[in-house]
Structure formats: C-alpha cells, structure tokens
Amino acid sequence: MAEMPATTVTLNVNGAERRLDIDTRTTLLDALREDLGLTGAKKGCDHGQCGSCTVLLGGRRVLSCLTLAVAHEGEEVLTIEGLGAGDALHPMQAAFVEHDALQCGYCTPGQIVSAVGMLGEVRDGWPSYAAADIAAEPSLDAAEIRERMSGNLCRCGAYANIVPAIAEAFSR
C-alpha cells in the first residue's frame, strides 16, 4: 500500500493559528471538519454547486470543498463558528434568527457566511450581473441580493425570509 503524501500546513482559523499534519489532497472543508472539529461548514454536494461549505478566506467567499488546504498556508479562514463574539451573535446571524430565515438549517451556515462576504463586496463597490449600471454604486434590492447569493442553495426554500434578513443586516 502506497504512503499518502503528507505535509504540515498552518492556517489562521477564526483568529487562532492552527498547524495541521494533513494529506496534501485534503480539501479545506475536510481539514476544518475532520481535523479541527469545526462542523459548521457542511459537505452538501462536494462539487461546489450548493454553497453549504462557504467560508471566508482572507475576507472573500470560498467554496471550501473545492480548495485544497495546503494552497492556503498562513491565510485567514473565517467560518460560521468565528462570526459572533462569545455569546453575542453577528448581526447577520441575528437577522437570520429574527426573520426565521431557515428551516432545516443545513445550508444556513453557508448562507450566513456567504451573506457576510457578499455585503463586504457590496461595500467595496463590486458590481453584479443584476446591476443595470455597473459603474454606479451598488444597490441592494431583492433582485441584487438574489443574484449575489445565487451560489448558495436552500433545499427547503427559505429564500422568502433569507433575502429580507440579508437586507436588514445590510441596513444595520
């Protein structure tokens, strides 16, 4: 039996430096879930189609099932577990609770993390495909939120509450 190629990688996960001895083929999702016990990011499709594994990597949204952990040596990874401050919810988490923007909850961590990343993109002036004028300052109406969140799927269909939750968190 052939030996698996292994290496040590250091990631800054939710503000803490973590050294992992892993197979070089380990995805960031599997490193988070299996090696660090951070199970908030979910393995939904394992093909980058559903968004349930979304984390922020250096502040940008990433599908952790599609990226290798070793490719992100020293980078900052933020998961759903790192969003709040102690017992205090992040404003996006609070908005999801207030709007009952979940049903089964499986996609919720990815939805919330993606929404936080997406609002950062809006605040940084990134246009989207839904924008009528890509040179104008981005607005955040329901169509814009749906377009920007289109990579995150909800099998239960909680979108009717997810969109207003994101809009409320943006307005805070």
Judgement on whether residues 97 and 160 belong to the same structural domain of the protein: yes
The pLDDT score that the predictor gives to residue 32 is: 98
Cα–Cα distances (Å) from 30 to 38, 68, 71, 75, in that order, read: 9, 9, 14, 16
Residues 118/155, Cβ–Cβ less than 8 Å: no
Judgement on whether residues 99 and 162 belong to the same structural domain of the protein: yes
Q: Would you give the DSSP letter of residue 8?
A: E
| Band (86; pLDDT cuts 50, 70, 90) | confident
Answer yes or no: is 1 within a domain: no
Whether the predicted pLDDT of 44 surpasses 90: yes
Judgement on whether residues 105 and 147 belong to the same structural domain of the protein: yes
- Domain end marker among 82, 112, 138: 82
11-27 exposure pattern, b = at least 16 Cβ within 10 A, e = fewer: bebbeeebebebeeebb
**Residue 49: CB atoms within 10 Å:** 13
**CATH number, domain with residue 38:** 3.10.20.30
What residue numbers bound the domain in which 136 lies? 91-171
Instruction: Give the number of domains in the chain.
Output: 2
Judgement on whether residues 161 and 104 belong to the same structural domain of the protein: yes
Q: Would you give the DSSP letter of residue 166?
A: H
Judgement on whether residues 33 and 50 belong to the same structural domain of the protein: yes
Answer yes or no: is 120 within a domain: yes
Answer yes or no: is 156 within a domain: yes
pLDDT in tens, 29-38: 999 999 999 9
> Cα-flanking dihedrals φ and ψ of residue 56, to 5°?
-100, 130
The pLDDT score that the predictor gives to residue 2 is: 64
